[in-house]
Amino acid sequence: MNKIIISCVLLFSLFISVQAKEMAGVTVQDQVTSANNEVLKLNGMGLREKLWIDVYVGSLYLVKPSNNVADILSQPNALRIQLDFVYKEVTSKKLIKAWKEGFEKNQSETQLQTMQSKIDRFYSFFEESAMKTDQYIIDYVPGQGTKVSKNDVLLGNIDGEDFKNALVEIWLGNHPADKKLKKGMLGLK
């Protein structure tokens, strides 16, 4: 009987380890359910570093995993970017500065002007510092927009596929926030 119990515990432990991935003390699930009930699979994850400091673990979830940015941006399905902060505190000012740099490096002046009200709304979601263990979920749902949550509390929603693509390009665009993070989120690491 003891052998059966031990075997069951070992099998359960193996099942749990297969269902999650860990990086920098953060465990993320292999799949999640989107706001519109689509099953999203972990495409990849990576560590955002700034001056050799670990800032957050970024995870990308897609309906259909891909390492091709053009395919990811053109998929008409839900997607999720999950940011799990590991640094003790990132101030609101630094968060907004980083988002601003990401938008400006990956979008033309015309695109930025067209989306400025949406971008400003996004910045308004970051009026507080991000603390260690804070989790931001950015869920794109076709027809509904981009929902941003912090620690399971909805901060707001921004309409439009154009905004979703501009936001995703902060991490996956031609000028990503962190090249190693991009590779990790694309599953190339």
pLDDT by residue for the chain (189 residues), tens only, comes to 554 444 444 444 444 334 689 999 999 999 999 888 999 999 999 999 988 899 999 999 999 999 999 999 998 899 999 999 999 999 999 999 999 999 999 999 999 999 999 999 999 999 999 999 999 999 999 999 999 999 999 999 999 999 999 999 999 999 998 999 999 999 997
- φ, ψ of residue 50 to 5 degrees: the values are -140, 115
The pLDDT of residue 20 is 82
Distance CA 189, CA 184 (A): 5
- Cβ atoms of residues 98 and 177 within 8 Å: yes
Distance CA 80, CA 146 (A): 9
**pLDDT tens digit sequence for 16-41:** 334 689 999 999 999 999 888 999 99
Domain CATH for 67: 3.50.70.10
The pLDDT of residue 6 is 41
**Which of 139, 149, 19, 39 shows the shortest CA–CA distance to 81?**
139
Distance CA 138, CA 61 (A): 10
SS3 assignment, position 128: coil
Classify the C-alpha dihedral 44-137-104-107 as positive or negative: positive
- pTM of the shown model: 0.88
> For residue 28, what are the domain limits?
2-185
- The domain total for the chain is 1
